[in-house]
Amino acid sequence: MYKVMIVDDEPLFRDYLRLKMDWQRHGFRVCCEARNGQEALLEAEKHQPHLALVDINMPFMDGIELAVKLKERFERIVIVFISGHNEFEYLQKAVRTGVQDYLLKPFNEEEMSAMLARIRPKLPQLPREREADKEGAEGNRPVSPAGQEAPDLSSIRDVIVLGLRMKDADILEEVRKAIRQLRGCKWGDEYADAMMMGLVSLVLTFAGERGFSYSRVWDSEGDKPPFERLKACGSWDGAEEWLTALYRRVIQLTEDVKPTKASNLFAAAIHYIEQHYADADLSAEQVAGGVYVDPSYLRRVFRKESGYSIVDHITHIRMKKARALLLEGNRKLADISESVGYADPNYFSKSFKKRFGVTPTEYEQLVRK
């Protein structure tokens, strides 16, 4: 399996990039991440990635300088630039530094998949025997010391990241759901601890991005490290109470921030989507018309305020509503599909599985157990 290094100074974008793609399905796995060029060189030495996804604009060392240094040290590494700058000057420099491809933010999973297909012929051929062994080992979920299969929280983490950025009120239930899945592990299990710290890291990263100091996030003992706070909970019940309180506090801090013209427009767009998500023809253009602004301007505002596109949020709302309808039971799949804006039930099922990892029918079976 090919190893991928993600280099971007935005923590939530690194999370987004790592969680949004089904890397294993494409024959890749994320082996390391870095916040800047200096860290990337150290991580590359340790992990020897085959593919580096590099943001052009970063502190200390920009992506172009990093690409030159990576090519000097790792001749066969494939480099792909990721940037919000669609400028010919950057493309020219990228070609001169041996960069093989370029992705312009915002991009979707289809564009990402197409890029992976384009660069695959440029990757070194992996030994079949060793690669088969790796895929066999990494294709299974981790197993806890007690012997049970450990839960995979990647889809829930993805929803939590979206929820934080989109100011989704249901995010606390997603946090509780993640902890419910982890309760199958023994308290203190190493894998479960890592998953819990991942949830802590998500909310602290979001708080830091919004400019909130630790002293505002913690209710007491501001100098105590997060892992010590987690272990002090002593049980899954205590951990759930502490972690949901942490998320609730950060959400409250976000709500207390004085609104700007952009944030008011963002809120109006979200409200419009909430009112019209059942419309199968709902689009970014329609949302922009509903809040009386130019579509291009709204797209920029929405991306800046949330980190995601308008279409991402429409899908997010539709999937959340669909899951609620499935929990009610006694509804035909075609009815639910139409109720959340999908004219084609098959396409709805594919979208649902892409978001939650199971089909609507499988989800119904799981919640009935």
Q: Tens digits of per-residue pLDDT, 71-102?
A: 888 888 999 888 765 544 555 555 556 678 87
CB 206 within 8 A of CB 162: no
pLDDT bucket at 3, cuts 50 / 70 / 90 = very high
Residue 242: pLDDT over 70: yes
Task: Flag the least confident range among 115-119, 338-342, 351-355.
Answer: 351-355
Sheet containing strand 2-7, edge to edge, reads 28-34, 2-7, 51-55, 78-83, 101-104
- In this prediction, residue 130 carries a pLDDT of 45
- In this prediction, residue 141 carries a pLDDT of 46
pLDDT bucket at 146, cuts 50 / 70 / 90 = very low
Residue with the bigger pLDDT between 144 and 263: it is 263
Task: Flag the least confident range among 34-43, 146-155, 166-175, 212-221.
Answer: 146-155
- In this prediction, residue 337 carries a pLDDT of 94
pTM: 0.44
Q: What is the pLDDT of residues 102-111, one digit of tens each?
A: 777 667 777 8
Residue 152: pLDDT over 80: no
The tokens of 224 are what? Answer: 């105590």
Q: What value does the mean pLDDT of the chain take?
A: 80
The dihedral through the CA atoms of 216, 219, 224, 225 has a sign that is negative
- In this prediction, residue 344 carries a pLDDT of 92
Strand partners, 4: 30, 51
Task: Flag the least confident range among 46-50, 138-142, 320-324, 350-354.
Answer: 138-142
- In this prediction, residue 368 carries a pLDDT of 60
- DSSP secondary structure, 66-105, as one string: HHHHHHHH-TT-EEEEEES---HHHHHHHHHTT--EEEES
